[in-house]
Structure 1
Amino acid sequence: MENYTYNSFTLQVEGLNVSEESVYPLFLFLFFSYVFIMITNVGIVALVFKDKSLHQPMYLLFCNLPFNDILGNSILLPRLMSDVLLPPSERFISYYECVVQAFTTHMFGTTSHTVLMIMAFDRYVAICNPLRYAAIMTNKMVMKLTVSAWGVAFVLVGVLLGLTIRLNRCRTLITNPYCDNAALFKLSCESVVINNIYGLTFTVVLFIASIGSIVLTYTQITVVCLISKNKSLNSKALMTCSTHLVVYLIMVFNGMSIITLHRFPQYSDYRKLCTILFHIIPGSLNPIIYGLQSKEIKKFLSKLFEPKKVLPCS
């Protein structure tokens, strides 16, 4: 008969199953990924706030992405690195820390969608209503969109975790590399039907709203570009929208891979890897993609690193 430990405040994390010879290479990969994510994302945010020419709605809204990447990876990767160096029997985490990690992880995924949705709206206004862009995308509107993106994610994830923490726990093993909602409610011996229904509804609604808004805005942008004979408008649309679309497709592909692998328990190790890459890949690529595509950011970097002329002594 299985022994149960009810409402234990100390949980054990299953973590990643890696061989002894793979421990340090994996640790180094996670370490350098984290360092790269922090340097590039903090650098992009610093550039935008330092250079007044970048104080535009597009860049201010974009700053939500690096901030989200910094927050999501800072909660996940340091803890994951420490767990990799420990044997499975010593990977412990407190229940409250686990809940915070699960909340932050789901906030990261949800906010990635909502931020890209408000960025799509910005591109729609800029290309489809260029004459009214300044009147619509005011500082007040940028603030409203930012608060909406984070507020909607906070409420949705808050309800998700609220339904889970109400449950009594009879198990202590987190069957995941880190804490998330599914791993937490699987600790309970009570019925989790409500959790599954809300979780599925949450996921479906988020993906429909996200994909729907992207398809709608990009269809309108495509129509405007096809009708317009303005080459500069079409070039601007192609540059900014292709960047946004690449970032979005990377995120959706990673998310879909995790959802698909959940249906195949025999590939649990691949699913664990995908959940980690869901944080690392967008966090690493977002600043590179936007930084290389932005003329303003490239211009600022060239000014920053160009050698200063030394005046000859008279």
Structure 2
Amino acid sequence: SHAASLTSALLLLSVVVGCSRLLSVVSAALSSMRSPGSNVTSVTLDGLVQLSDHRWLFFVLFLSAYLFVLVSDSLVVYVIWSQRSLHRPMFMFVAAVLMNSLVASAAVYPGLLSDLALGRHVAEVSRAACLSQGFVVYSLGSSSFVLLAAMAFDRYLSICRPLRYAALVTPAAVAALLLLCWLLPAGLVGGAVLLASRLPLCRSRISRIYCDIYSFVRLSCGGGGAVLLFEVYGLLCAATTVFLPAAFVLFTYGRILFICLRRSRAFSSKALRTCLPHLLVFLNYSLSAGAELLQRRLQAGGAPAVSILPSVLVLVVPTVFNPVVYGLKVQEVFRHVRRLLSCRAPG
């Protein structure tokens, strides 16, 4: 219904505002906290050194990617919000994934573009700013995995349990699921940030172009129980918000494929076309997560000159790929986007 659609749209807005307020609270808390025995008050990102020889090339690359993300994500979200025919659960989840991409991009690209434009070889940021950026990137990245699991469940009910779909997937259920997809990762990653903020730092250099929590923890003094606690907690967070949702997505789409193979060819073709964009985005996020793990292994092996490449790919590829898939592969969205652009074209 129109009221339910409006409620879902308002929910998206309220959750984004809530996440922004949560980030402000976390930043304020971290600013007032100083790890005992630590003299390091700022963190240096020296990944820019490896981009300095071709900094204008990378500036154009990152600026193009950021502008594309801003325009394409905003366009698709606007189309979903403005078209009543798209006020359905699947498209609400699509809008949520793209909004995650918008917010995460805004946390990384502007500062990076400023550093490249000014010719800085290193970027110095405060502990609180570094952890805040890591909070945004990790929580929204984890949230996207949980949202993809919610999409998979929605597609499973729609394709395999169509008679019960309307009764199970109500506006209230969608609202609760969206809240879970945002607040669960934010809470878990927020806990990791608080643990990391209490670690005393003996080093200050991170060989990346943006901050992440794992690299921040590697700056701590030696090992000890605090680092072990963070490692265990981080594994729990990853299992809850990445590995389990990924396994659920694979299992769910496997079930859909199994059921489709037992139905008519026309039914199978339509169902698989509906699932394909979500599978492509899931593959995109999975490859990005794999590149992030590769980045960690390279950092642990002390190969900064090589490890900057996954850092660049993890930043650019997912944010650019998602709106292309959802804007072109989801026929309902593509049709409305094309109509909107044709109406605004001159002549």
With normalisation by structure 1, the TM-score equals: 0.89
Matched, 1:196 2:231: yes
Give the aligned residue type for 2:103.
L
Residue 19 of structure 1 deviates from its aligned partner by: 5.8
SS at the partner of 1:48? helix
Q: Does 1:46 align with 2:78?
A: yes
* Alignment gaps of 5+ in structure 1: 309-314
Give percent identity, aligned residues only. Answer: 29
Query: Partners in 1 of 2:324 and 2:126 — Cα distance?
Result: 36
Q: Specify the code of the residue in structure 1 equivalent to 2:268.
A: N
Residue 139 of structure 2 contacts residue 189 of structure 2 at CA under 8 Å; is this kept in 1? yes
1:268 aligns with 2:300: no
Give me the whole-angstrom Cα distance separating, in 2, the residues matched to 1:266 and 1:174: 11
Aligned to 1:290: 326
3-state secondary structure, aligned to 2:195 = helix
Deviates more, 1:267-276 or 1:146-155: 267-276
Deviations 1:172-196 (A, max 9, x none): 3233221111222223215222222
Q: Distance in 2 between matches of 1:173 and 1:230?
A: 57
Q: Deviations 1:87-140 (Å, cap 9, x if unpaired)?
A: 335x21122211211111111221121111111111111101112212211111
Structure 1 residues 220 and 260: CA distance shift in structure 2, 3 A: same
Q: Match for residue 125 of structure 1?
A: 157
* Counterparts in 2 of 1:255 and 1:270: CA distance versus 1, 3 Å: farther
3-state DSSP class of the match of 1:16? helix
User: Corresponding residue for 1:240?
Assistant: 274
Aligned to 2:119: 86
Partner-residue secondary structure (3-state), 1:86: coil
1:303 paired to 2:339: yes
String of CA shifts for 1:165-218, please: whole Å, max 9, x gaps: 112233332332211112222232152222222223433444431222112211
State the match for 1:279 in structure 2. 315
Mapped to 2, the partners of 1:177 and 1:35 lie a distance apart of 19
Counterparts of 1:60-209 in structure 2, within 5 Å, are: 60-84=92-116, 85-88=118-121, 91-189=123-221, 191=224, 192-209=227-244
The structure carrying a bigger helix percent of its residues is 2
1:228 aligns with 2:260: no
Runs ≥4 residues deviating over 6 A: none
- Counterpart CA distance in 2 for 1:280 and 1:21 is 19
Q: Structure 2-normalised TM-score?
A: 0.81
**Which shifted more, 194-203 or 31-40?**
194-203
Counterpart CA distance in 2 for 1:306 and 1:99 is 43
Q: Highest CA radius of gyration, 1 or 2? A: 1
The alignment yields a C-alpha RMSD, in angstroms, of 2.1
